[in-house]
Amino acid sequence: MTSRPVNKAVIPVAGLGTRFLPATKAMPKEMLPVVDKPAIQYVVEEAVNSGMPDILMITGRNKRSLEDHFDRVPFIEQTLENKGDLDKLAMVRASSDLGEIHYLRQGDPKGLGHAVLRARQHVGNEPFAVLLGDDLIDAREDLLERMVEVQARTGGSVIALIEVDPEQISSYGCADISVVEGEDYVRVNKLVEKPAADEAPSNLAVIGRYVLHPAVFDVLEETGPGRGGEIQLTDALQTLAAAEGEGAGVYGVVFRGRRYDTGDKLSYLKAVVTLASEREDLGPELREWLKDFTADAEA
Ligand code: UTP
């Protein structure tokens, strides 16, 4: 069992983002703004704040905007400095001072499992995190740190789960679990992709945070195309859950904190409104306006 701290995070951003077309025709969906930062910046900040300064993004054909976003832009900085707009200057600088970001093309977008496998050489033989840009975890939460701890204790791979209303489970990957006596994690026996509500083994849904043992790479090498003709990370985790020996076993951390789903249009809009209404600079006016807006709409 390896107990080195996890300091590498892999962020796959090579998906086609079909649910947001045409907005995602020329840019990755992770660049869509959530209030005034692209979704990807929240995710990178989460990784860095959880002790993972080494970030690898698996990119697709639209990687330019990502690279530009995390790079310095001297003339913008100079303009803000000349104007004395130090708050904005600090914000602009913050987005280019986040950890050490590497980029690797996926080539063909053959699925999330395939994207993760591309990280093999960069990650090497140590546990690593995978973060998906669809899920934003509030900066006040410590989900990734908890997952890293559970990975070190179990020596397996760790996924994040949330409890959903039973009728919503058919939109998620669902975990069949066993309680582990005296522990704050569960054992994952099986993963079922988007089950019908009456066939779901639980109401525990998989969300986009993983801390994986490097044994997952060998399994991914052997994993053929699954649902949608794509190489699925879920299928590899399923194999690890049933395996024995070094790096086997999948465990779940049930997350009950603040999370903002940005994966489809409606939840994205809700995430933007929720986060904006919590902000000191925007919240009070936005909440007032929302009250009037809903009253008018009802009338
Ligand atoms: P999704 O299943 O959400 O697909 O991918 P998508 O392409 O991003 O979005 P839709 O469903 O078409 O609207 C889950 C995550 O895996 C990445 C995506 O970027 C996203 O973060 N991914 C998916 C890859 O990096 N490569 C792939 O081949 C597929």
- Reported as a single tens digit per residue, the pLDDT across 80-95 is 989 999 888 888 888 8
Same domain, yes or no, for 202 and 288?
no
Same domain, yes or no, for 157 and 22?
yes
How many angstroms separate the alpha carbon of residue 18 from the centre of ligand 1?
A: 9
* Nearest atom in ligand 1 to 19's CA: 13
The answer, yes or no, to whether residue 2 has pLDDT greater than 50, is: no
- Closest residue by Cα to atom 18, ligand 1, is 15
Same domain, yes or no, for 89 and 223?
yes
How many angstroms separate the alpha carbon of residue 227 from the centre of ligand 1?
A: 13
209 phi and psi angles, rounded to 5 deg: -135, 130
Angle at Cα 16 formed by Cα 15 and Cα 20, nearest 5°? 115
pLDDT at 12: 96
pTM: 0.94
Same domain, yes or no, for 85 and 124?
yes
The answer, yes or no, to whether residue 219 has pLDDT greater than 80, is: yes
Q: Tell me, what amino acid is at 286?
A: L
Alpha helix positions (H), 4-85: 39-49, 64-69, 74-83
How many angstroms separate the alpha carbon of residue 13 from the centre of ligand 1?
A: 7
Same domain, yes or no, for 203 and 277?
no
Same domain, yes or no, for 215 and 73?
yes
**Residue 38 beta carbon below 6 angstroms from any ligand 1 atom:** no
Q: Tell me, what amino acid is at 78?
A: Q
Same domain, yes or no, for 123 and 253?
yes
pLDDT confidence band for 231 (50 / 70 / 90): very high
Same domain, yes or no, for 194 and 238?
yes
pLDDT at 3: 52
Low-confidence winner among 25-29, 60-64, 246-250 (lowest mean pLDDT) = 60-64
Domain range for residue 24? 8-263
* CA nearest to 157, candidates 222, 246, 93: 246
**Residue 113 beta carbon below 6 angstroms from any ligand 1 atom:** no
Which residues, in sequence order, are CB contacts of 90 under 8 Å at separation 6+? none
State the average pLDDT for the chain: 93
